[in-house]
Each structure stands twice: as C-alpha cells, then as structure tokens.
Structure 1
C-alpha cells in the first residue's frame, strides 16, 4: 500500500491528465490499483475511486488524488461517508456471515473479526448482552496475519462449518477446528475489510456504512449507534 501511495503522490500532478472515468480507471490500474470503480462523490468537483486497495478521491481536473476518510459535518459531529459506498458489497456477503440475531432488533452491525484477537474474544463472550440490547451481530473474517496464515485457514473451516455459530464459539473458547481449509470465503472477507480501511480487529461496520475501529462495551456501542 505504501508503494502504491508513493506512486500516486509522485504522479498525481503529471500523469493524471485524463478527462473521463474510463481514463481514470486505466491510469489507476497502471499504478497498481485493481478493481477500480469510479463514481461521483458527495463533494462537488471530486470523483470517488473504489479499489481493491481502498477508496481514493480524485479532483475532476485530475491534478490531485486524496487518500483517507471523507467525513460529513453535522450538528451531531463527524459522519464517515466513505465506507457507505461499500454497503452493497457488504450485503452481497450476507449469506457468508456468521450471524447472532437480536430478538428485538434495533441495530445491525457487521464485525470484521479474528479468532486469535483478544478483544474479538471479549466481544463474542458478550454476544448475549449485545443481543439483549437489540443489536444483531454479523461476523466476517479478517485474519490479521493475512490469507495465508493458519488463522485464515481455521476461520475458513469455521465459516463453512455445518454449524458456524457453534464452531465460532468453540474456537473463541480455545477449541479451534482440527481440519483446516484453504482461504476462499475468508479471502473475500479480508479483501472487503481492506476496502473498508480495516487495519485491526475487531472493526465494526454500522448500518450506515460507518467504520468503528476497536471494541466497545455493549452499552457504549448502543449509545454510539443511536447517534
């Protein structure tokens, strides 16, 4: 990623002399970015480029590329609007998630998690408390060691198990699956996590597409979601 960003910065004011979205795509692909999709952003004069490497913003005169989150200002504070662009992709993985539904559902969160992560274990052991507050918890895999790691293979076995809920809880309690599998689903989840800007676990995506990095106690998370 650092190498890509360095290239973007060096070429941002010279090579990017395109005039339409297709040229934007082609130029960014030449810079090493893949899966490029260009669309309008909420800011006039700036285009959004969603890539496998994350989200970038490009001025319409093609002179500047911005890397980072885009926030909307409101009376309630800052609102992350960058990740909301990825909600459709998140929905596409709905059937691959391990879900713990709340009976009286008020909020739905999607958690990028790693079974070897301490705070992911803390969060999962409080799953009933989240559910009791009306928070449905959906998990996607994000092995911190990458898709070639042992954890990635363990999580693949969990997410493809006959009873994923049971397999995940067992792993959290120190009983990971004995049979490992190559990362396929896990790889897709991991790539989506990178697009959202996930760089640690747990990372929570709200229904609005906002990314909350780190663990929050059930009551604190409910308060955050209510804003």
Structure 2
C-alpha cells in the first residue's frame, strides 16, 4: 500500500510540474507580446525542449520553465534523409485550416476526377498569378483541382479588392476570374462574400506574396511554378 501511495504522490507531482511548465511558457509568450492563441504545448525529441504550436500553424520552441524561447527549424537527422520536424508540424495545422474552407467560398477549377488539389491565394492584378491562370487547364488535365482564395495584396481598400469581391459575387465565378486574370473588366457586383475573411486567413498563415500555393498537406509553394513541376509536387504532397 505504501508503494502505491508513493507512486501516486510521484505522479501527482509530475502532473503538477507539467502544468507549471505549460503556464510558464504561456506567460513568456505574453511577455513577448505574442498574441496568437496557443493550440498545444508538447514535448520534442530533445529532452527539456517543448514545441509550442500556435493556432495559426506556426511553431516556436521553449525550455520547460519558459525562460528560453527560440524560433527556427528543428531537423531530425538520424535517418537516411534529414526531416524538418518544424515544417511538418506547421504544414499539418495550416493544411487543416485551409482545407476546411467551404468549397462554396472558393473559385474552383476542377477536372472530372481530381487526383489532388491546390489552394492558391491569388491577386487578380499579380503578373505571376495571371501566368499561373493560363496553365489551369493544363493542371486540370494532370489531375490537379485548383481552388482560388482571395488575397488582394494591397489591402481591402483598393480597386483590386473591389474587383475580387465582384468576382466572388458573380453568377459565374470561374468566368469572372478568367476575365479579370486576362486584364478585362468585371461587372461590379456586391454580396455577402468571403474576400476579407480569406485575406485575413492568408495573413494568418504567413502569405506574403502571390500566388501563394498550398498543397493538400499544407506545404507552401511560395510563388509561380510551371504546371508540370507544380503538378508533380502536388501529387507528392497529398
């Protein structure tokens, strides 16, 4: 009985220590003015180092007592191929966020039987976004569904944002997107649309330029890639 009692006390102390570490790390984030909510705090393969997963998908690392914090990539190099543990953790959460966007809130160009999809945060006045759009048919032919989310780079109080809101409010969103990407005018329209919310989400997950292409597993391809290369990456990162 005494051994069971001592074991119970030890477990209680360990649990208390874990809670204390958790709160210390959260307190440190507050002192650093990091206002993004914490999704989880978990152990890493390195003793005493904790992974701090923020709700926007980004990862920080902290000591157990919260006195030290760092930002950067953690690699596992004990296998044949080095593995970026930080990128894997971030991609998982970001992928979940982006893949949860309702299909009706996106402008989608899809083949009959897609093999996978990409989500492109786009700006209709961006040159490389326009170049990518000319290759959407090729991407579809390769089995890639293209999902467009709105990201007017210069902000919501711009003519580009107005155009993008008109696209999302058009009766034929695909045709309106193609017109805008070709530099043609789009009839102005208004409705309850997701453009501002998607712009905010893009900023939240780290979009800094367009096109910002997220593969199905949350991996970011920052910028234009030719359709063949992009399709190959998309199929490898489902």
Global fold match (TM > 0.5): yes
CA contact (8 A) 2:124 2:164 kept: yes
1:107-154 deviation per Cα after TM superposition (whole angstroms, max 9, x unaligned):
210011110000110111111100000010001011111222221222
Q: SS state of the match for residue 205, structure 1?
A: strand
When structure 1 is superposed on structure 2, of 102-111 and 28-37 the one drifting more is: 28-37
Q: CA deviation at 1:212?
A: 0.6
Matched positions, count: 209
Larger radius of gyration: 2
CA contact (8 A) 2:151 2:198 kept: yes
CA contact (8 A) 2:153 2:210 kept: yes
CA contact (8 A) 2:92 2:218 kept: yes
TM superposition score normalised by structure 1:
0.77
Correspondent of 1:55 among 58, 62, 77: 58
- Greater share of helix residues, 1 or 2? 2
CA contact (8 A) 2:170 2:189 kept: no
What's 2:214 paired with?
205
Q: CA deviation at 1:19?
A: 3.5
What's 1:88 paired with?
96
What's 1:114 paired with?
123
Q: CA deviation at 1:222?
A: 2.0
Q: CA deviation at 1:69?
A: 5.7
TM superposition score normalised by structure 2:
0.74
The change in CA–CA distance for 1:179 and 1:23 in structure 2 (over 3 A counts) is farther
Q: SS state of the match for residue 58, structure 2?
A: strand
Aligned runs of 1:44-193 on 2, under 5 Å?
44=45, 45-51=49-55, 55-61=58-64, 62-68=66-72, 80-81=87-88, 82-95=90-103, 96-179=105-188, 185-193=194-202
Q: SS state of the match for residue 40, structure 2?
A: strand
2 CA distance for matches of 1:182 and 1:58? 43
Aligned runs of 1:12-27 on 2, under 5 Å?
19=20, 21=22, 24=25
1 CA distance for matches of 2:91 and 2:205? 6
Q: CA deviation at 1:27?
A: 5.5
Q: CA deviation at 1:24?
A: 5.0
